[in-house]
């Protein structure tokens, strides 16, 4: 048989194969892009995906941006702003170093970059295929920072496309990457959402703490059982810091967040070593949550291993692992000892634990462990027989990553809410996006956490509620809370509202006349005749009808009648007695001239109208769904889910602490 002719592969094919090595799935590409955003000193990073990132993977940051002149070459291989000489390789402090990520992505997807530097008058937008610009960069509007859009990933690699059928599974990986970077970079605010959805699946605030973010991403159950870990060794030139769960906490699958020199990696060897310590503290087949940040002198890390960069090796791996293992053990022992003492004081004899209770009662009764631990052989005392154990595995190739409950929850949410993904309109107006980002920057992170966990206790009046958080009881101002909630919904669901049809169209002229009769309107002779004002209001609002209908589902007909109002929240109807004042204030309080101010003031006024007030009693008692029902079942649940409490809520009387149970208990103890 004739041997096959050896031919040189077409260059684009070579590039595509190489790119497939670097970018194996959406989460891979995302990781590279997050690292670029962090390198660019961003403090806000927003990720938006569609179909788990296969259809769309977008990342927006507020970092330094890319100079217009660099746009031409930024996607070429080995183009980087981060490395100039070979010597730099040994002292890398930024994440990227080989200038390969963007190039690779452009070979397997449609890539678009929109970016603006601080000294540029506008943003520039450029698209790429196979490392090359598809046309000259175009000027456009945009804030400082960079937005990278990756569409139709693997459109030209059918095998890879077929292998990654499930958007849900890819989404899980994407969420995992975002969640992990959010924990590790607590000073940066991260958001992850599915395109077209207003609620984010992950949202952390800038300037949070690591524990804040563990709570936000992995839930309060993990967060309340954390032990801080710190260990360093000057000889081995490494420092490890992090948080690990104590023996009260366990999950089905180990969750291990590992960063080496701030790069997300995975290490089976290290995980196994740590888990072997936990084996004697946790019930069988359960595992801890671990977050570790390992900093090793750059000259000891071999970063130049593989383009995927998940495999990182360092010198003295075994010795370092052993040190960390000891630190974990000391932590757990210390913690266990104090618990033993405490529990024994309550339950004498509890240290005699049978096999069964040990298994079923989880972790809290494992008092015998401390004594036995001397007999146990920990992994670090064992001799390793398999050299593969020493490898820092590729992060994404592990099948067991489905993992942890918190991460699983994300799938559930994605399945529930993906229904309307197709029909939603994406907000593109800079004005609205700016207002939304203001909500985020102005959010009080402590209050956000409290609101998320609050328990609704009851209504004092339509205006006031009682909530419990931790062991504190608060009197809440439901009016201002609901106003803020509706204001935020109006912005985040912008142009996606359903319509609330009035049973009878409401004549704006009559409403305006009614409002002018009210003392609250502040009308005086000097304002001119009421009829004239009312006619003016009708013509003003009619002239805005198209926009109001399109963006807010506020429909006004030819005759100047309101047909529909926006439908802002399921199971909630505003009190209609506020409608006359609302119409009047739309004319007097809304700034119709500048786009951003217009949306802001319009949303504010609409939110005021929707907020629950003293006399907004849509139904009297006896009716099935009166105001109390709406407050409990519509307003407070929605606040828990999405409300970003503005800073001033921490100072004003929105939350008034009226009791602290620990103090109460102390009082009782004295009696």
The footprint of Mg ion (CB under 5 A) covers 36, 96, 101
Nearer to ligand ADP, 73 or 163 (CB): 73
Could you give the CA distance from residue 108 to residue 468 in angstroms, rounded to a whole number?
51
What is the CA 517 to chain-centroid distance, rounded? 48
Cβ 96 to ligand ADP, closest distance in Å?
2
* Binding partner at 63 among Mg ion, ligand ADP, none, C-beta below 5 to 8 Å by kind: ligand ADP
- Give whichever of 66 and 401 is closer to ligand ADP, judged by the CB atom: 66
Q: In Å, how far are 243, 291, 331 from 226, measured between CA atoms?
A: 6, 10, 11
* CB closest to Mg ion, residue no: 96
Nearer CB in complex with ligand ADP: 127/553? 127
**Sequence-ordered strand ranges (E) for 393-461:** 455-459
Do you know the residue count of the chain? Answer: 671
With CB atoms as reference, the residue minimizing the distance to ligand ADP is 96
Q: Which is nearer to ligand ADP, 42 or 492 (CB)?
A: 42
Helix (H, G, I), strand (E, B) or coil at 243: strand
Residue with Cβ nearer Mg ion (96 or 646): 96
Burial class of residue 117 in the structure, from the number of CB atoms within 10 Å of its CB (0-12 exposed, 13-18 middle, 19+ buried): middle
Q: Which does 619 bind (CB under 5 to 8 A by kind): Mg ion, ligand ADP, none?
A: none
CB of 191 to ligand ADP, least distance (A): 15
For the bound state, the minimum distance from the C-beta of residue 461 to ligand ADP, rounded and expressed in Å, comes to: 50
Q: Which residues contact 512 (CB under 8 A, 6 or more apart)?
A: 533, 534, 537, 538, 580, 583, 584, 587
Residue 15 or 325: the one with the smaller Cβ distance to Mg ion is 15
In the list ligand ADP, Mg ion, none, the entry touching 574 (Cβ below 5 to 8 angstroms by class) is none
Token code pair at residue 365: 């009764």
Residue (307 or 637) nearer to ligand ADP, CB: 307
Q: 370 or 433, CB closer to ligand ADP? A: 433
Least spacing, CB of residue 212 vs ligand ADP, in Å: 25
* Residue 64 interacting entry, from Mg ion, ligand ADP, none, C-beta within 5 to 8 Å by type: ligand ADP
Find out whether 394 and 308 touch, Cβ atoms under 8 Å.
yes
Q: Which residues make beta-bridge pairs with 231?
A: 240
Identity of the residue, 97 or 378, whose beta carbon is nearer to ligand ADP in the bound complex: 97
Residue 198, classed as helix, strand or coil, is: coil
3-state secondary structure (DSSP) of residue 113? strand
- Are 124 and 138 in contact by the 8 Å Cβ rule? The answer is yes
The entry of Mg ion, ligand ADP, none near residue 560 (CB within 5 to 8 angstroms by kind) is: none
SS3 110: strand
Cβ closer to ligand ADP: 71 or 174? Answer: 71
Q: Spell out the long-range contacts of 615-623 with Cβ–Cβ below 8 A and sequence spacing 24 or more.
A: 615/462, 615/575, 615/577, 616/462, 616/574, 616/575, 616/577, 616/578, 617/462, 617/575, 618/573, 618/574, 618/575, 618/576
Q: Sheet containing 555-556: which strands, arranged edge to edge?
A: 498-507, 561-567, 555-556
Select 95 or 494, whichever has its Cβ closest to Mg ion: 95
Nearer to ligand ADP, 262 or 452 (CB): 262
Inter-CA distances, 256 with 179, 291, 408, 410, 623, Å: 12, 6, 15, 18, 52
What is the residue whose two structure tokens read 């730099």? 88
- Asked if 655 and 643 touch (Cβ cutoff 8 Å), the reply is no
Residue 180 token pair? 């992990």
Given the rule CB under 6 A, which residues bind ligand ADP? 32, 36-37, 40, 61, 63-66, 74, 79-82, 96-103, 146
> What is the rounded distance in angstroms from the CA atom of residue 550 to the CA atom of residue 545?
8
Q: Which is nearer to ligand ADP, 32 or 170 (CB)?
A: 32
Q: How far apart are CA 170 and CA 352, in angstroms?
A: 47
The single-letter DSSP state of residue 568 is -
The Cα–Cα gap between 424 and 405 comes to 29
β-bridge partners, 293: 241, 259
**Which does residue 469 touch among ligand ADP, Mg ion, none (CB within 5 to 8 A, set by kind)?**
none
Buried b (16+ CB within 10 A) or exposed e, 163-186: ebeebebbbbbbbbbbbbbbbbbb
102 binding partner (options Mg ion, ligand ADP, none; Cβ < 5 to 8 Å by kind): ligand ADP
Judged by beta carbon distances under 5 to 8 A according to partner kind, the member of Mg ion, ligand ADP, none in contact with residue 237 is none
Angle between helices 167-184 and 405-417 (to 10 degrees): 130
Minimum gap (Å) between residue 65 Cβ and ligand ADP: 6
> What is the closest distance, in whole angstroms, from the C-beta atom of residue 242 to Mg ion in the complex?
24
We find the least distance from the C-beta atom of residue 55 to Mg ion, in angstroms, to be 23
Q: Closest distance between ligand ADP and the C-beta of residue 391, in Å?
A: 23
Nearer to ligand ADP, 60 or 477 (CB): 60
* Closest separation in Å from C-beta 157 to ligand ADP: 19
Report the nearest approach of Mg ion to the CB of residue 60 (Å): 16
Least distance from C-beta 131 to Mg ion, angstroms?
15
Q: How far apart are CB 141 and ligand ADP at their closest, in Å?
A: 18
Which of 580, 598, 670 has the alpha carbon at shortest distance from 431? 598
- Least distance in Å: CB of 32 to Mg ion? 5
| Smallest gap from residue 213 Cβ to ligand ADP (A) | 21
State the binding partner of 146 from Mg ion, ligand ADP, none, CB within 5 to 8 A by kind.
ligand ADP
């Amino acid at each position: 048989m004739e041997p096959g002719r050896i031919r040189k592969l077409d260059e684009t094919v070579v590039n595509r194969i190489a790119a497939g090595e670097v970018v194996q799935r959406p989460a891979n590409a995302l990781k590279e892009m997050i690292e670029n955003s962090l390198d660019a000193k961003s403090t806000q990073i927003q990720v938006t995906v569609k179909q788990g990132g296969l259809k769309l993977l977008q990342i927006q940051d507020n970092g330094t941006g890319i100079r217009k002149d660099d746009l031409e070459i930024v996607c070429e291989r080995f183009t980087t702003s981060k490395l100039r000489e070979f010597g730099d390789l040994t002292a890398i402090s930024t994440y990227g170093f080989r200038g390969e990520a963007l190039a690779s992505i452009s070979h397997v997807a449609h890539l678009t970059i929109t970016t603006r530097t601080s000294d540029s008058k506008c943003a520039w937008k450029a698209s790429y295929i196979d490392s090359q610009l598809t046309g000259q960069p175009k000027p456009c509007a945009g804030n400082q920072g960079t937005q990278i859009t990756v569409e139709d990933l693997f459109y030209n690699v059918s095998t890879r496309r077929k292998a990654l059928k499930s958007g849900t599974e890819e989404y899980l990986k994407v969420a995992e990457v975002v969640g992990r970077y959010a924990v590790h970079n607590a000073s940066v605010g991260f958001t992850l959402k599915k395109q077209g959805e207003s609620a984010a699946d992950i949202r952390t605030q800038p300037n949070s703490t690591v524990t804040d973010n563990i709570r936000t991403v992995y839930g309060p159950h993990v967060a309340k059982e954390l032990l801080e870990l710190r260990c360093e060794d000057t000889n081995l030139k490494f420092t490890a810091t992090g948080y690990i769960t104590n023996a009260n906490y366990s999950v089905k699958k180990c969750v291990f967040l590992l960063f080496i020199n701030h790069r997300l990696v995975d290490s089976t060897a290290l995980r196994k070593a740590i888990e072997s310590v936990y084996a004697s503290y946790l019930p069988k087949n359960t595992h801890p949550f671990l977050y570790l940040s390992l900093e090793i002198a750059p000259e000891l890390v071999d970063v130049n291993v593989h383009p995927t960069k998940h495999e990182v090796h360092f010198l003295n791996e075994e010795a370092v692992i052993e040190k960390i293992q000891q630190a974990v053990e000391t932590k757990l022992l210390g913690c266990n000892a104090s618990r033993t003492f405490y529990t024994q004081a309550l339950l004498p004899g509890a240290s005699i634990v049978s096999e069964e209770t040990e298994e079923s009662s989880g972790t809290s009764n494992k008092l015998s462990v401390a004594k036995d631990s001397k007999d146990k052989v920990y992994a670090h005392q064992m001799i390793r027989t398999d050299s593969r154990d020493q490898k820092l595995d590729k992060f994404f190739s592990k099948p067991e990553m489905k993992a942890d409950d918190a991460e699983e929850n994300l799938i559930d949410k994605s399945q529930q809410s993906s229904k309307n993904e197709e029909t939603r309109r994406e907000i593109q107006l800079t004005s609205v996006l700016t207002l939304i980002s203001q909500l985020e920057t102005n959010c009080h992170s402590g209050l956000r956490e409290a609101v998320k966990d609050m328990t609704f206790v009851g209504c004092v009046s339509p205006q006031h509620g009682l909530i419990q958080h931790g062991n504190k009881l608060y009197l809440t101002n439901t009016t201002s809370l609901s106003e803020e909630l509706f204001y935020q919904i109006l912005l985040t669901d912008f142009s996606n509202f359903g319509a609330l049809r009035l049973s009878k169209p409401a004549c704006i002229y009559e409403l305006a006349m009614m409002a002018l009769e009210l003392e609250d309107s502040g009308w005086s002779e000097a304002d001119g005749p009421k009829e004239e004002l009312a006619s003016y209001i009708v013509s003003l609002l009619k002239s805005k009808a198209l926009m109001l209908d399109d963006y807010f589902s506020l429909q006004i007909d030819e005759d100047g009648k309101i047909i529909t109002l926006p439908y802002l929240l399921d199971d909630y109807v505003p009190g209609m007695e506020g409608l006359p004042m609302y119409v009047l204030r739309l004319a007097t309080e809304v700034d119709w001239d500048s786009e951003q101010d217009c949306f802001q003031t319009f949303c504010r006024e609409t939110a005021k109208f929707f907020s629950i007030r003293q006399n907004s009693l849509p139904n009297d008692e006896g009716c099935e769904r009166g105001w109390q029902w709406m407050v409990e079942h519509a307003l407070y649940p929605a606040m828990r889910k999405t409300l970003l409490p503005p800073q001033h809520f921490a100072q004003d009387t929105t939350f008034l602490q009226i009791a602290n149970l620990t103090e109460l208990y102390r009082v009782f103890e004295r009696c």
